[in-house]
Amino acid sequence: MATTGKHCQRSAKRIAVEAAVLCRPYASTAGCHAVDGIMRNFSSQGIYIEAHRKFEPGSILVVRMIRLGDSSRKMVASYPRTICLGEVKWLKKNSDSQPIRYGMGIRYLD
């Protein structure tokens, strides 16, 4: 289910960041390749990423940070998890960018 409007009230403070990530389905087979993405923010409960491939809500992903942007290192007091298992909670299509990107809210699974 894609969202088009405002999201529910935030339960944790978001921290802006720019980090390159790789994500893939948790139960992927050898034929499934990791997808490049950009982490735009994080909190104690999850992350927001943008990627060229969409993963539907309910998908379980392994997300691995591969590079934290230099400007982000200077701006953030804490850092996001470098690798995590998470569930896609919501999805939105960003048609303003070319090529099209998909924004995904991902909740950490402990």
| Matching residue, tokens 């992350």 | 47
* Angstrom distances, CA of residue 17 to CA of 28, 30, 37, 51: 27, 31, 13, 15
Parallel, antiparallel, or unpaired: how do β-strands 60-68 and 15-25 relate? antiparallel
- Indicate the pTM of the whole model: 0.80
Q: Which residue ranges form the domains of the chain, and what is each CATH number?
A: 15-108 (2.40.10.220)
Given this model, what pLDDT does residue 31 score? 64
Whether the CB-CB separation of 63 and 20 falls below 8 Å is answered with no
10-residue mean pLDDT profile of the chain (110 residues): values are: 48 86 83 87 94 95 89 63 94 86 95
